[in-house]
Structure 1
């Protein structure tokens, strides 16, 4: 090993949780946060739901809410937060693309996608059960829409190299999108 170089440099963690509402993403986020807190790390959980809750789930605010969450993750990466846990549905590849792009650009984040339930969509939870877990606040038709739109993500590179995602975000003026 060359002098002054660390071969096994510590990589910060970026977890991107994926799954339909009610599958346990928030529980998993809290579990990950607790695990790393016990190791002395001061990670943060980022969920667009907290913005949706503030705006009473008004659909017209959803785009802005997601934009704010991406901005918060970007700022957290610049502060060196470890781990960063993104707790969103992330149904489509383009929804995960900005977070993965940010993590790659930082050059010191180990990026992990976590699908819930593990093995989805082969191992899935029934819409009726998810509906009950969400206390009937999300219409069953929305769960069906999520299932239809679900895109398989084999790896972070699969997401990062997705043509639709690259085109969709190419013109974004958001601060994180430095290309």
Structure 2
């Protein structure tokens, strides 16, 4: 069997309440793994775990979901499942187009529940509080001709991915060393800490605590190395804009001893050089936490990391539940608490 045939991309479509997410989990069970991506996940409040939809953020939610799916495609994750409403062909085009480029076999599936097109029943069953009027509107704009061919003929209204810019950013990964000898790496989607001390965080865990298939899922996504995410891509601009005011002396000292240009790469390098001076491995390892959403489970090392949180706050960002991902069942759960309240094994 060819690599192309082995990599699968499932495009799901269905109104909220139709059984679409149940179908996604059925595919995961049938395939023995994979990752699910949904724009709805963007609206999950990380502190309460509750769904909080904001109409003015819908474009951000789809961009966020697409970027996560594209990253998984580049890593060869299979199967990838897109759990979105997809009422119109153009809504699915970014995923199908990128999937085909990366050698994925695309399959389209819909829930077969008797109420899948019954507006009143969907209104009663959906868990996100979607109004009846919105459900009826979605059903009215439903594309009956929804195939890979018809999808690819449409023009997507989503912002087109700039592959050249993304590839350039990936190629220009910047790495700096901290005083502890760890590496801080500027990646395409985040800034993270890697190294020996980071790996040691999970060395004391009971060996049978995290299921092996969960670990395999994480390694498919991240590779063998663990990392602690310090910043996400959507936080880069704020952090860079506040850098010189927040760390006056550090920036002055660095600019005295090193030349920085005014281009974006130099700005990132200056930011990274400051991080190497102010972030240390001053953390406390609490143990292993777990969060559950439906049939999904994610397990992680719970970390208190004072220097990193102090840095985030000085740069105008909020405190973060620092954690080191250990594994997950089908997809890594985001925007949920990952602190001591989630512990299933306490290191103390």
Sort the TM-score into its range (normalised by shorter chain).
0.7 to 0.9
In 2, Cα distance between the equivalents of 1:173 and 1:125?
31
- CA spacing shift, 1:20–1:44, aligned 2, 3 Å: same
Conserved 8 A contact 1:71-1:176: no
* Residue 129 of structure 2: aligned partner: 137
* Residue 59 of structure 1: aligned partner: 55
Q: Across the two proteins, how many residue pairs are aligned to each other? A: 158
Q: Give the match's secondary structure for 1:159.
A: helix
In 1, Cα distance between the equivalents of 2:34 and 2:116?
29
Q: Which structure has greater strand proportion?
A: 2
Within the candidate set 143, 155, 159, 2:151 is matched to 159
User: Which structure is larger by alpha-carbon Rg, 1 or 2?
Assistant: 2
Within the candidate set 47, 70, 73, 1:74 is matched to 70
Are 2:166 and 1:174 equivalent residues in the alignment? Answer: no
Q: Structure 1, residues 3-40: CA drift from partner, whole Å, max 9, x if none?
A: xxxxx314210000001111111000000011111xxx
* Cα RMSD, aligned residues only: 2.4
- CA spacing shift, 1:176–1:151, aligned 2, 3 Å: farther
In 2, Cα distance between the equivalents of 1:177 and 1:146?
35
Give TM-score, length-normalised by structure 2: 0.42
- CA spacing shift, 1:144–1:85, aligned 2, 3 Å: same
Within the candidate set 9, 18, 23, 2:2 is matched to 9
* Residue 85 of structure 1: aligned partner: 81
In 1, Cα distance between the equivalents of 2:13 and 2:127?
20
Within the candidate set 28, 31, 36, 2:26 is matched to 31
* Residue 189 of structure 2: aligned partner: none
Following TM superposition, the consecutive aligned residue runs of length 4 or more in structure 1 with deviations greater than 3 angstroms are 175-178
- CA spacing shift, 1:52–1:29, aligned 2, 3 Å: same
Q: Following superposition of structure 1 onto structure 2, how do residues 112-127 of structure 1 map, counting pairs within 5 Å? A: 112-117=107-112, 124-127=116-119
* Residue 305 of structure 2: aligned partner: none
Following TM superposition, by how much is the alpha carbon of 1:154 offset from its aligned partner in structure 2, in angstroms? 4.2
Q: Structure 1, residues 23-72: CA drift from partner, whole Å, max 9, x if none?
A: 111000000011111xxxx4100011111223720111111011100000
In 1, Cα distance between the equivalents of 2:82 and 2:13?
9
